[in-house]
Amino acid sequence: MSTAAPLPDNRRAKRNVTVLVAAQAILGAQMPMIFTTAGLAGQSLAPNPCWATLPISAAVLGSMLSATPMSAFMQRAGRRWGFVLGSMAGALGAAIGAAGLLYGQFWLFVLGALFTGVYMSGQGFYRFAATDTASDDFKPKAISYVMAGGLLSAIVGPQLVKVTSDAMVVPFLGTYLGVIAVNLIGMWLFAFLDIPKPPAPVKGAALVGRSRGQLLREPMIVVAIICATVSYALMNLVMTSTPLAVVGCGFQTSNAADIVSAHVLAMYAPSFFTGHLIARFGVEKIIGLGLVILAGAGAVALSGVELSHFFGALVLLGIGWNFAFIGGTTLLARAHSAAERGRIQGVNDAIVFGGVTVASLSSGQLMNCSGSDVETGWQLVNLAMLPFLVLAGGALIWLAMRPKTA
């Protein structure tokens, strides 16, 4: 008589997921704070309104540039010290940004945003760290739970903006001081992380696993990167312009903060069941559903500029990002071994945030410098989503149609 295989022990993985959920909730609060205020502060400091979103672009650029070095550092020193390094960079970036606001120096404000990108890069690896000690069945759920930690950050971050944005004579200075505090407090969470370092490579030994070039020729990895890049870039394209569009259409900064809060809630709330949906229906179908929902967000945004349109579009944008991005991350995690993670995860995030950098730069140009008024700029931002959704959808269909043995 055959004996059922024992269930995998995920106790260590669940402990690590708990720590990473808390980090996502507490440290992650700084991202909605920065994305709500950076464009508005940049608009007041920049010599040309076309460069209003340059601080956000600089943060994403910093994330892109630091993704591969951060991944390599974690491969050598471990996840814990990589995440601590990211938090320290976040505090430094906020301090430099605060100095830029205090002295009215746009270049200094942008420089601070570049260091913020190092924290952003580190936060991006929370989802990968959740899979390091998890069984194959638990991996998509672990990723989803960690992403769900962003729910608290979606509530706390925008509320902190409301409390701090006008707390000092210099607008938004209090917000950036708050970001410093969030980083210095939250970094202590990583003392409880229990993820072993990968074994150090033996000098002169043969490469374990595939090279970066070989990994980037793997169809599943290529499609995972395309879908993750498109979903994250389009989410950033629209979200970056949203505070500018909301205020430009006659509403208040507090309205913009509420819309960003609803958007970030929508980004992370589905994470409680996204992993279960992937396990039941398959990762390709969930990514496809996410791309369809992103298209729906663009359609709602193009239908009007009332607060209800902004709320509806940004909520759909968050849900679509969640399905497509978690799906892309799961697809990538299934396509490489533990020995290969330091090579491909950093390359993945460098490509993803490279796309996001281009999107955030384009957002300011489309919003402020391509249309005759705010409404026209907002329409151009949302129309720009279409060709990239077609690209990601085509790649996904191509992967689904490939023979399973290929």
Measured in whole angstroms, how far is the alpha carbon of residue 285 from the centre of its chain?
21
- Residues spanned by the domain of 286: 11-195+211-401
Beta-carbon neighbour count of residue 326 at 10 Å? 28
Q: What's the pLDDT at 235? A: 93
Given a contact cutoff of 8 angstroms between Cβ atoms, the answer to whether 234 and 295 are in contact is no
Q: What's the pLDDT at 39? A: 79
What Cα–Cα distance (Å) separates residue 325 from each residue in 20, 144, 224, 225?
18, 10, 9, 9
Q: What is the C-alpha separation between 406 and 402, in angstroms, rounded?
A: 7
Is the pTM higher than 0.75? The answer reads no
Q: Which of 5, 165, 19 is CA-nearest to residue 80?
A: 19
For 343-360, the three-class secondary structure string (H helix, E strand, C coil) is: HHHHHHHHHHHHHHHHHH
Q: What is the C-alpha separation between 286 and 281, in angstroms, rounded?
A: 7
Beta-carbon neighbour count of residue 249 at 10 Å? 17
Task: Please work out, in degrees rounded to the nearest 5, the angle formed at the alpha carbon of residue 165 by the alpha carbons of 160 and 169.
Answer: 140
Please report whether residue 4 resides in a domain.
no
Buried b (16+ CB within 10 A) or exposed e, 115-139: bbbbbbbbbbbbbbbbbbbbeeebb
Please report whether residue 60 resides in a domain.
yes
Q: Which of 276, 257, 12, 253 is CA-nearest to residue 141?
A: 276
Given a contact cutoff of 8 angstroms between Cβ atoms, the answer to whether 286 and 278 are in contact is yes
Q: Which of 26, 15, 17, 31 is CA-nearest to residue 318?
A: 31
Q: What's the pLDDT at 223? A: 93
Q: What is the C-alpha separation between 75 and 343, in angstroms, rounded?
A: 9
Please report whether residue 204 resides in a domain.
no
Q: What is the C-alpha separation between 360 and 56, in angstroms, rounded?
A: 7
Please report whether residue 6 resides in a domain.
no
- The radius of gyration of the chain from alpha carbons, rounded to an integer in Å, stands at 21
List the structure tokens of 33: 């704070």
Task: Please work out, in degrees rounded to the nearest 5, the angle formed at the alpha carbon of residue 63 by the alpha carbons of 164 and 174.
Answer: 10
Please report whether residue 206 resides in a domain.
no
Task: Please work out, in degrees rounded to the nearest 5, the angle formed at the alpha carbon of residue 358 by the alpha carbons of 395 and 257.
Answer: 105
Please report whether residue 203 resides in a domain.
no
Q: What is the C-alpha separation between 221 and 389, in angstroms, rounded?
A: 18
Please report whether residue 375 resides in a domain.
yes
Q: Quote the DSSP letter at residue 6.
A: P
Task: Please work out, in degrees rounded to the nearest 5, the angle formed at the alpha carbon of residue 390 by the alpha carbons of 389 and 393.
Answer: 85
Residue type at 240? T
Please report whether residue 201 resides in a domain.
no
Q: What is the C-alpha separation between 66 and 276, in angstroms, rounded?
A: 32
Q: What's the pLDDT at 271? A: 80
Q: What is the C-alpha separation between 142 and 15, in angstroms, rounded?
A: 11
Q: Which of 155, 181, 176, 154 is CA-nearest to residue 164?
A: 176
Question: What's the domain count of the chain?
Answer: 1
| CATH number of 170's domain | 1.20.1250.20
Give me the tens of pLDDT residue by residue for the chain, a chain 406 residues long.
Answer: 444 444 466 888 889 999 999 999 999 999 888 888 887 888 888 888 778 778 888 888 898 888 889 988 998 888 999 999 999 999 999 999 999 999 999 999 999 999 999 999 899 889 888 888 888 778 878 887 887 787 888 788 888 888 887 888 888 899 999 999 999 999 999 999 988 877 665 555 545 777 778 888 889 999 999 999 999 999 989 988 898 899 888 888 788 888 988 898 898 888 888 888 988 899 999 999 999 999 999 999 999 999 999 999 999 999 999 999 989 988 988 887 767 777 787 788 888 888 888 888 888 788 877 767 888 999 999 999 999 999 999 999 999 888 765 4
Beta-carbon neighbour count of residue 234 at 10 Å? 30
Q: What's the pLDDT at 5? A: 47
Measured in whole angstroms, how far is the alpha carbon of residue 113 from the centre of its chain?
15
List the structure tokens of 401: 């149609």
